[in-house]
Amino acid sequence: MAAVAAIEMGSFTGLNPWAEFVVGTTLVTAMGLQNAMQRMHLSSAPPSTLMTGTTTQVMIDLTDLTDLALGATGDVRASARGRLRKMVPAILVFAGGCGLAALVYILVREWFFALPPVLALMALYVSMGR
């Protein structure tokens, strides 16, 4: 739905704030539905909305390490460093993916919003074959 709205309403240049609002609200609704579906129907599967929690935890761990650098030591420091070793690479790869997505968007504009539904349909097709 968001892909159709984005393609239909064209480039977002600030000239049509209602179109931007409709597409933005549709995308936020889609993210909320994805989170709810994950928690209610796919709770045993790995989460598909990882970056918010990961980024929050990294910032907490960096704060802990900053506090610990001022003199404290202990298990908190080791735990924070261990989590950072696991999470920072994920954030860097995510940021790289965002950059790549931005470059592709520059090339194909609004048609880029059609990619997620196409990928979802392909995944559904593949999963039905099992």
Per residue in 13-52, pLDDT tens? 777 788 788 888 887 788 777 777 776 777 676 666 667 6
Percent above pLDDT 90 for the chain: 5
Task: Note the pLDDT of residue 29.
Answer: 82
The larger pLDDT score, comparing residue 67 to residue 90, is at 90
Q: Domain locations in the chain?
A: 1-45, 50-130
Write b or e for each residue in 55-81: b if 16 or more Cβ atoms lie within 10 A of its Cβ, otherwise e.
eeebeebeebeeebeeeeeeeebeebe
Q: What is the mean pLDDT of residues 107-127?
A: 86
